[in-house]
C-alpha cells in the first residue's frame, strides 16, 4: 500500500487539530478554573455538577426560610414574654385587691393600673414583623384583634379576633417543615373544653361555660348562689380573650365587686399556664430551627466540596498539560515542515 502526499497532509492536519483542541481545552480550564465548561467535556460529570448546584440552591433557600422563621418566632416569643409579665402583674393586683384590707377607693386605683395593662395586651396582640401581623394566622395583612366602644353581640366583650387559625409552614430541609406563626387563638384566647364551676370564698359559685362553634370559644361566666351551672345567676359576663378578661377585672375593681374579682382568678391562672405552654412551643421550634440550620450549613460545605471535586480543574495538572500540548504541537510543526519540504524529486530513484 502506497501512502500519497495527500494522506500525509490529512494525517498532519488531524494531528494539528487534535493538539490545538487539547491545548485550547487546557487553556480554557486554566482561565475558568473549571475542568467542565460544557456538557461535551464530560456528560456524566455535568449531570453531577447540575445536581449539586440544584441541591446547594435549595439549601440556600432553606436557610433563608429558617432565618425568616427565626425572626418571626423570636418576635412572637418576645411578645409572649410581655404577655406573661402583664398577666402576672394582674394576678398580683387581684390577690391584693381581693383581700379585706383593700377598700373601694383602693380598688378603683387598682382598676386604673389594670386598664393600662389591658391596653398593653391589646397592643401586643397587634405585634408586627416586616409589616405583617404575627397573630392573624394566614391573614397577615389584617389586624389580629379589633376593639369596639360598646360590647359586641358576637363576643359579649369589647375585643374580637379578626384573624384565622391557619398555621403557616415553611420548608427547612428536603424532608422537614416548621410552623412559623402563632395564631391569635393560641396566643391571646382563653379556652375551655367543658363547663368549669368554682366555689368562691364568699360561698357563691362561678360557672364558666364554653360555647361551641365559635373560634375562639366564647366563655360565659355566671355568678350564682347555686352549684348547678344552669341555675339562675345574679351576675353574668362573657369573654374570649385576655383583653376582655382584664376588662371584666377592671370593671370588677371599679364596682368593688369582690365576687367577680375572685371568680376571674381561675381563668387568669389558666391563661398564664397557656401562655407559658405557647412559649415552650416557640422555644422547641427555635431549637429545631437552630439545629437544622447547623445541619444545612454542614451539608452545604460538603456539597460545595463534592462540586469542586467534580468541576474544578487541577491548576498544576492543567499547567503541565498545556506545556505538554505546546511541546507536542511544536514537534508536530517541525516534523510536518520536514515532510512538507520534500518534493517529487526526493522520491525519484536514479539507476
Nearest CA to 68 out of 129, 125, 138, 124 is that of 129
Q: CA–CA separation, 219 vs 241, rounded Å?
A: 9
Q: Which residue has the higher pLDDT, 161 or 101?
A: 161
Band of pLDDT at residue 17, cut at 50, 70 and 90: low
First to last CA, the chain: 23
Q: CA–CA separation, 299 vs 82, rounded Å?
A: 37
Query: Which residues, other chains included, contact 183 with Cβ-Cβ below 8 Å and sequence gap of 6+?
Result: 135, 136, 137, 163, 164, 165, 166, 167
The residue-averaged pLDDT of 94-111 equals: 88
Band of pLDDT at residue 320, cut at 50, 70 and 90: low
Q: Which residue has the higher pLDDT, 23 or 81?
A: 81
Band of pLDDT at residue 345, cut at 50, 70 and 90: very low
* Percent of the chain residues past pLDDT 70, beyond the cut: 73
Domain spans of the chain, in order of start: 56-297
Query: In this predicted structure, what is the pLDDT of residue 82?
Result: 98
CATH hierarchy code of domain 56-297: 1.20.1330.10
The residue-averaged pLDDT of 175-200 equals: 93
Whether the predicted pLDDT of 327 surpasses 90: no
pLDDT tens-place string over residues 124-168? 999 999 889 999 999 999 999 999 888 776 667 889 999 999 999
Q: For residue 246, how many C-alpha atoms fall within 13 Å in the half-sphere facing its CB? A: 29
Give the distance between the most distant pair of CA atoms in the chain. Answer: 145
Whether the predicted pLDDT of 211 surpasses 60: yes
Strand bridging mode 159-161 / 205-210: unpaired
For residue 310, whether the previous peptide bond is cis, meaning omega lies within 30 degrees of 0, is no
Whether the predicted pLDDT of 74 surpasses 60: yes
Query: In this predicted structure, what is the pLDDT of residue 116?
Result: 97
Contact 248, 155 (CB under 8 A): no
3-state SS, one letter per residue, for the chain: CCCCHHHHHHHHHHHHHHHHHHHHHHHHHHHHCECCCCHHHCHHHHHHHHHHHHHHHHHHHHHHHHHHHHHHHHHHHHHHHHHHHHHHHHHHHHHHHCCCCCCHHHHHHHHHHHHHHHHHHHHHHCCEECCEECCCCCCCCCCCEEECCCCCCCCCCCEEECCCCCCCEEECCCCCEEECCCCHHHHHECCCCCCEEEECCCCCEEEEEECCCCCCCCEEEEEECCCCCCCCCCEEEEECEHHHHHHHHHHHHHCCCHHHHHHCHHHHHHHHHHHHHHHHHHHHHHHHHHHHHHHHHHHHHHHHHHHHHHHECCHHHHHHHHHHHHHHHHHHHHHHHHHHCCCHHHHCCCC
Contacts of 320-327 with CB under 8 Å at 24 or more apart are: 321/22, 321/26, 322/23, 322/26, 322/27, 322/30, 325/19, 325/22, 325/23, 325/26, 326/23
Rama region for 279: left / alpha / beta (φ>0; ψ in -120 to 50; rest): alpha
The three cell numbers locating residue 291 = 439545629
Amino acid at each position: 500500500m502506497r501512502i500519497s502526499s495527500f494522506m500525509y497532509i490529512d494525517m498532519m492536519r488531524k494531528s494539528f487539530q487534535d493538539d490545538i483542541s487539547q491545548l485550547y481545552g487546557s487553556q480554557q480550564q486554566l482561565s475558568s478554573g473549571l475542568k467542565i465548561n460544557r456538557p461535551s467535556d464530560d456528560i456524566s460529570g455535568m449531570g453531577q455538577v447540575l445536581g449539586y448546584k440544584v441541591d446547594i440552591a435549595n439549601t440556600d433557600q432553606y436557610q433563608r426560610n429558617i432565618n425568616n422563621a427565626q425572626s418571626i418566632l423570636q418576635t412572637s416569643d418576645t411578645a409572649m414574654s410581655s404577655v406573661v409579665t402583664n398577666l402576672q402583674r394582674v394576678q398580683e393586683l387581684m390577690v391584693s385587691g381581693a383581700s379585706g384590707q383593700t377598700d373601694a377607693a383602693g380598688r378603683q386605683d387598682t382598676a386604673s393600673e389594670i386598664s393600662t395593662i389591658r391596653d398593653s395586651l391589646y397592643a401586643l396582640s397587634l405585634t408586627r414583623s416586616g409589616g405583617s401581623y404575627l397573630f392573624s394566622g394566614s391573614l397577615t395583612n389584617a389586624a389580629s384583634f379589633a376593639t369596639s366602644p360598646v360590647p359586641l353581640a358576637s363576643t359579649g366583650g369589647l375585643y374580637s379576633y379578626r384573624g384565622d387559625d391557619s398555621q403557616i409552614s415553611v420548608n427547612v430541609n428536603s424532608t422537614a417543615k416548621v410552623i412559623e406563626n402563632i395564631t391569635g387563638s393560641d396566643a391571646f384566647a382563653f379556652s375551655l373544653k367543658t363547663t368549669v364551676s368554682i366555689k368562691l370564698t364568699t360561698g357563691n359559685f362561678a360557672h364558666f361555660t364554653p360555647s361551641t362553634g365559635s373560634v375562639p370559644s366564647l366563655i360565659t361566666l355566671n355568678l350564682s348562689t347555686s352549684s348547678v351551672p344552669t341555675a339562675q345567676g345574679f351576675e353574668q359576663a362573657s369573654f374570649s380573650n385576655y383583653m376582655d378578661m382584664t376588662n371584666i377585672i377592671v370593671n370588677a375593681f371599679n364596682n368593688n365587686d369582690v365576687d367577680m374579682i375572685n371568680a376571674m382568678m381561675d381563668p387568669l391562672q389558666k391563661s398564664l399556664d397557656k401562655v407559658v405552654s405557647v412559649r415552650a412551643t416557640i422555644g422547641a421550634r427555635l431549637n429545631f430551627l437552630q439545629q437544622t440550620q447547623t445541619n444545612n450549613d454542614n451539608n452545604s460545605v460538603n456539597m460545595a466540596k463534592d462540586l469542586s471535586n467534580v468541576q474544578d480543574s487541577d491548576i498544576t495538572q492543567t499547567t503541565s498539560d498545556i506545556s505538554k500540548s505546546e511541546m507536542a504541537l511544536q514537534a508536530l510543526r517541525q516534523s510536518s515542515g520536514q515532510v512538507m519540504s520534500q518534493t517529487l524529486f526526493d522520491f525519484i530513484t536514479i539507476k
